[in-house]
Amino acid sequence: MALLERNEWYDIARDTNWTPTYVSQENLFPPTMSDPYQIPIDEWETFDEPYKVSFREYVRTQREKDGSAYSVKAALSRSRFYDQACEGWASVLKLHYGTVALTEYQACQFQARMVRFGPSPSMRNMATFGMLDEMRHAQLQLFFPHELVHRDRQYDWAHEAAHTNNWAVIGGRHAMDDIMMCRDAVTGSLMVSFAFETGLTNLQMIGLSTDAANMGDFTFSNLITSIQSDEARHAQLGTPTIEIMVRNGYKEDAQKILDIAFWRVWRLFSVSVGIPMDYYIPLEQRHMSFKEFMHEWVNRQYVRQVEDLGLAKPWYWQHFLDDIENHHHCQQGGIWSWRPTVWWNPPGAVGPKERQWLEKKYPGWNDSYGTYWDVITENLLADREEKTHPECVPIICNMCQIPISNRPGKAWKARPYQFEHEGRRYNFCTEPCRWIFTTDPNRYKDHETIVDRMYSGEIQPPDLDGVLKYMGIGVVSEGGRDGYNYQWIEGFRSAAAE
């Protein structure tokens, strides 16, 4: 029997919907899990995802992709690449695997919620593929680093990070719990599929795959491309949902949902992508600065897409543009200084040539961030390594869970943005992080930052060793050290000698 063409049967198969008779519609799709706006079902039945795939096609394509990713890995496993790779690139890999691998499993659970509670049959159908995609991504990104564990125990964080209370993990967990794990299907599809995937990570994957190829890491480059190729399907869960919300009078809600999620993901994205692009990847292999990447890829595309949907760019756009100039430079300084608290070996890597590059890409860098590194460099040149480890405790943002900081030097823009609620004072890094808290204080008020936990007595003993152990350092693996063993200061020593 001849098979029908996909377009001859697709719509009717995909749109098949329940007509409940034994339970109410509300019991079958509780608003808190499904659609809190209670948009009529015939509106949801207009949901049409543009990129279509049948299950048969899905299985065939995914099988081919897996076959390709695993055979490239097998073919290159005898190459000496990972033995010879510099610690800067290793840091990119360790940071990526530790923050991403099990987050993919969370994304799988999130997709599963849309499979069950999505108000539109097409949405549930597409989310089924999304759920299988995310499972594949988690498994690939657990398997690939696994063979590296025997070379370097820090790769074990691919599997372990999500099970620890490392400060970087708490930040990721807070954001993912907020936008992905604890939202109804409709809100989640805007936050994850549109703001997170379409807005930021899809484009990041394109850049990361290019970086990997430039580094000669074709296993990782190919892995990232393979993962990225799945996104066309499930990232499109957001757009039709936004269109239906706007058409039914929920434009302002859609705007707020996107603005919350975009900022939440941005704060993490800047650390996990900005620092690697501008500091970890060796100068010779950098293909563009993080700022150029944001302006050339993310900003233009995101604004075009939200405007096409009848929405506006986020109200905090100016704050966001400012954050592109600052946030990841601050956190490179912070992460490097508190290097024993992370599971990779962050290279300082701000030698004379790197500083020239940073000044060119970020005019004014030397007069601001440079002053921070001047002190560190001076201490290292004078053999006072111990002075490069801070003894104070940072103030952590009660929203993004990242240390509060901003441009140093003459401008000195670091300050907390505060908010009092039910007798407790909350500190925030920026106006948008504070704004997100005020949109729903009950949702956020009970969470404690890693530093709150030191003061509240949860971390015992509340000293450096106690905190490190609490964060999994020395338990999963040793914490970080300078990735290049301070080699990057040698350029200054020879310059001084001349």
Partner 1 sequence: MAFERVCSLDDLWQGEMENFEVSGTEVLLIHLDDGSIHAIQSICPHQEVELVNGSLEGKVLTCSMHLWQFDVSSGEGINPTHAEVAKYPVRVDGEDIFVDTKGIEPKFTLA
x/- track of binding to partner 1 for residues 296-325 (CB under 8 A) = -x---x--xx--xx----------------
- 41: how many CB neighbours lie within 10 A of its CB? 16
Is 239 among the residues that bind partner 1 (CB under 8 A)?
A: yes
Q: Which of 492, 412, 494, 91 is nearest to 282 (CA)?
A: 91
Report, in Å, the least distance between residue 51 CB and partner 1. Answer: 4
Q: Count residues binding partner 1 (CB under 8 A).
A: 23
Is 106 among the residues that bind partner 1 (CB under 8 A)?
A: no
Nearer to partner 1, 236 or 345 (CB): 236
Q: Which of 272, 268, 270, 302 is nearest to 175 (CA)?
A: 268
CA distance 41 to 423: 43
As a whole number of angstroms, the longest Cα–Cα distance in the chain is 87
Beta bridge partners, 421, equal 424
**Helix-helix angle 431-439:317-337, to 10 degrees:** 110
Phi, psi of 421 (to 5 degrees): -145, 120
Q: Are 324 and 334 in contact (CB under 8 A)?
A: no
Report, in Å, the least distance between residue 113 CB and partner 1. Answer: 22
Question: Following DSSP, what letter does each residue of 148-204 receive, concatenated?
Answer: TTTT-GGGGHHHHGGGS--HHHHHHHHHHIIIIITS-HHHHIIIIIIIIIIIIIHHH
Is 56 among the residues that bind partner 1 (CB under 8 A)?
A: no
Near partner 1 by CB under 8 A, which window of 163-171, 233-241, 430-438, 480-488? 233-241
Is 236 among the residues that bind partner 1 (CB under 8 A)?
A: yes
Q: Are strands 417-421 and 424-428 parallel, antiparallel or unpaired?
A: antiparallel
**Helix-helix angle 251-269:317-337, to 10 degrees:** 30
217 contact partners, CB below 8 Å, separation of at least 6: 81, 85, 89, 93
Is 229 among the residues that bind partner 1 (CB under 8 A)?
A: yes
CA distance 242 to 221: 32
Query: What does the block give as tokens for 133?
Result: 């995609």
Nearer to partner 1, 236 or 477 (CB): 236
Report, in Å, the least distance between residue 300 CB and partner 1. Answer: 9
x/- track of binding to partner 1 for residues 64-103 (CB under 8 A) = ----------------------------------------
Report, in Å, the least distance between residue 220 CB and partner 1. Answer: 17
Near partner 1 by CB under 8 A, which window of 47-55, 74-82, 323-331, 370-378? 47-55
x/- track of binding to partner 1 for residues 172-211 (CB under 8 A) = --------------------------x---xx--x-----
Report, in Å, the least distance between residue 115 CB and partner 1. Answer: 20
Residue 371: what residue type?
T
Report, in Å, the least distance between residue 239 CB and partner 1. Answer: 5
Report, in Å, the least distance between residue 258 CB and partner 1. Answer: 14
Near partner 1 by CB under 8 A, which window of 44-52, 154-162, 405-413, 464-472? 44-52
What DSSP element (H or E) covers 331? helix 317-337
Near partner 1 by CB under 8 A, which window of 50-58, 97-105, 275-283, 312-320? 50-58
Site residues for partner 1, 243-302, by CB under 8 A, read 297, 301
Name the residues that contact partner 1, by CB under 8 A.
Answer: 50-53, 61, 198, 202-203, 206, 225, 228-229, 231-232, 235-236, 239, 297, 301, 304-305, 308-309
